[in-house]
Homo-oligomer: A and B are copies of this chain.
Amino acid sequence: MRIAVINPNTTPSMTARIAGAAQAVAGSDTEILGRQSLCGPDAIEGPFDGALAVPGLLKAIVAAEAEGADAHVIACFDDTGLDAARAVATRPVVGIGEASFHAVTLLAHSFCVVTTLSRSAPVIEDNILRYGFDRRCRKVFASDIPVLALEDPKSGAFETISAFIEKGIAAGAEGVALGCAGMAGFARDLQARHGIPVVDGVSAAVGLAETLVRCGLLTAKTGVWSPPTRTQLLAAE
């Protein structure tokens, strides 16, 4: 099967990194299509960036379906544009934020999130509430690491995240969701260090997308995600 993993920002190095993380966990018969938005912000830090990333993301979803994608992963932890994407896509769509919450609650009675900027934390908290995981989440920590600094080995990002995981454990968390696609590479080492499950959303989302495809399941089209009537807007813009 083909899973489109779409980076909703326009930074190619991050797209490549995300696609690599996805392929590493995909099944042997799964082809990962690493794609990114053609227009929009180069990083998504807060709701303004998130909103402006959506039109480009939706175009990428439509393009991926033309390439034969069987499912889509939105590789932004804020699950930016998830509702609009589910409406326009004919195939299942999984956000990496929701995927990481689903996965970590299968492994840990309570969890914490370590994300990047403090302006993103309330967006994530709102999502956690909407998805129903608020009673399981002890805390969303903002590490104040800029998204793009995650690619710089000298940024000290790994140690900073590790320190927040310690705080989460002290607050009762038994598991961690890494709150940014750019943190994908850190999950296994952090898990080894702290001895608790540390979930990378990209990996989890690929598995969930494969699951939905193998089970022959499709997004409900009878309600909020029914096909939009104004899809010409995607071309026009």
A interface vs B, CB < 8 Å?
A: 25-29, 39-42, 45-52, 54-55, 58, 81, 83-84, 86-88, 92, 94, 98, 102-103, 105-110, 118-123, 126, 129-136, 169, 172, 174-175, 187-188, 191, 195-197, 199-200, 203-204, 206-208, 210-212, 214-226, 228-231, 233-234, 237
Contact = CB atoms under 8 A, between A and B. Distances in A.
Nearest to A43: B230
A204 B199 contact: no
A218 B200 CA distance: 13
Contact of A211 (B197, B207, B217, B223): B207
Contact of A84 (B45, B47, B87, B129): B47
Nearest to A25: B214
B39 A237 contact: yes
Residue from A27, A55, A207, A211 whose CB has the most chain B CB atoms within 10 Å? A211
